[in-house]
Copies of this chain bind each other. A is one copy, B any other.
Amino acid sequence: MIISTKKGTPQVEVQKIIDSFEAQGLQVTLIRGTDYNVFGLVGDTTKIDERQIRANPWVEEVTRVAAPYKLANRLFHEADSVIDVAGIAVGGNAPIAVIGGPCSVEGEAMAVELAKQCKAAGATMFRGGAYKPRTSPYAFQGMETEGILALVKARQATGLPIVSEMMGEDTVDEFEEYVDLVQIGARNMQNFNLLKAAGKMTRPILLKRGLANTIEEWIMSAEYIMAAGNPNVIFCERGIRTFEKYTRNTLDLSVIPILKQKSHLPVIIDPSHATGDWRLIESASLAAVAAGADGLMIEVHSAPECAWSDGAQSLKPDKFAAVIEKCRAVANVVGRTM
């Protein structure tokens, strides 16, 4: 960590800063400039809060050199983590995961039927929302437990592991019992209570990026889950919020090479939420695979215009199959299978 102080900082204040860091077991080196002084701290700075240091009125700037995360950091875990989702491997050189399914589960028959179609189209996992985070309190909030049980039936019928979003600590037991890959949604990426609860589960966690969260904050949220005891975290990019109005969000594919450089955890792309428009999904999916994604999560519905939520961004099963087919061709030429 590097700290610079303002021009004219009295020697006694400089010394106070040095003393305070040395008291925390850090080595301090001072560089004197004409207009400022700079301190370099050597040692474990993970627990030091930059904003705390800035509270000192003589401090000009604080720069963190070492990343604030450890368990998620590739520096201390060179090999790719391969996460096991009920028998399906995600990450490393494993085949690219294909997660398909409806935004909302609309009943057992629908879930079973759609899971079969998704499997036939090439999906390796089945997703469905049972607890739905909706902007409006008047919108459909999901079938809840009934929806989870419908997903279980879909798994029984197809063998596909199931993926669903957990919205609160009150459903931890239900998800631990039934759901193979537990999703933490974008709006809960910094719901730290939920992250800690997920950290105590044995199920792998699919951690979506928040609407306006930096990659570093995202890794820190994975670190929360890992620090609480659950090392099995998969990142899922779903687009960030920008000024652009033609798309629901802006898909940031740079996260793929960056996460792979900074962390050892896998990363999956959700082109459905990123674009918000089914006509943009094929292009975004192909791009994600070419960029090196470890998986895709795509919304599928047999009659999007009748879906109970988010039909605008859902593919029909045959279109989904066609997209997967094209993605597989791209995967093959970039050295992956699918």
Task: Name A's B-contacting residues (CB within 8 A).
Answer: 2, 4, 7, 29, 31-36, 38, 40, 42-43, 46-47, 49, 51-52, 54-57, 60-61, 63, 65-66, 68-69, 75, 133-140, 167-170, 187-188, 190-194, 210-217, 220, 223-224, 227-228, 240-247, 250-254, 256-258, 261, 274-280, 282-284, 286-292, 304-305, 307, 309-314, 326, 329-330, 332-334
Known: A2-B38, A250-B240. A49 touches B287 (CB 8 A): no
B241 and A243 contact, CB distance less than 8 A: yes
Closest to A39 in B: B31
A304 to B310, CA, bound (A): 41
A152 to B55, CA, bound (A): 27
Top 3 A-B residue pairs of the complex, sorted by shortest distance between their CB atoms = A55-B311, A212-B212, A31-B40
Known: A40-B33, A289-B290. A138 touches B47 (CB 8 A): yes
Known: A4-B65, A223-B137. A276 touches B51 (CB 8 A): yes
A261 to B75, CA, bound (A): 39
B193 and A170 contact, CB distance less than 8 A: yes
Looking at the assembled complex, report how far the CB atom of A305 sits from the nearest CB atom of chain B, in whole angstroms: 5
Which residues on the B side are within 8 Å of A60 (C-beta)?
65
A284 to B290, CA, bound (A): 8
A243 to B278, CA, bound (A): 22
Could you list 14 examples of A-B contacts with CB < 8 Å? A33-B65, A40-B40, A55-B314, A57-B305, A135-B217, A136-B220, A138-B227, A169-B170, A187-B191, A212-B243, A240-B242, A242-B243, A330-B330, A332-B333
Looking at the assembled complex, report how far the CB atom of A27 sits from the nearest CB atom of chain B, in whole angstroms: 9
Q: Which of B35, B134, B274, B279 contacts A192 (CB 8 A)?
A: B134
A193 to B309, CA, bound (A): 19
Known: A2-B38, A291-B286. A280 touches B305 (CB 8 A): no
B253 and A284 contact, CB distance less than 8 A: yes
Closest to A171 in B: B193
Known: A33-B65, A49-B139, A75-B35. A252 touches B243 (CB 8 A): no
B188 and A191 contact, CB distance less than 8 A: yes
A286 and B280 contact, CB distance less than 8 A: no
A246 and B258 contact, CB distance less than 8 A: yes
A215 to B247, CA, bound (A): 10
Which residues on the B side are within 8 Å of A43 (C-beta)?
34
Which residues on the B side are within 8 Å of A247 (C-beta)?
254, 258
A224 and B137 contact, CB distance less than 8 A: yes
Which residues on the B side are within 8 Å of A211 (C-beta)?
210-213
Q: Which of B31, B61, B287, B333 contacts A253 (CB 8 A)?
A: B287
B257 and A279 contact, CB distance less than 8 A: yes
Which residues on the B side are within 8 Å of A330 (C-beta)?
290, 330, 333-334
A244 to B259, CA, bound (A): 13
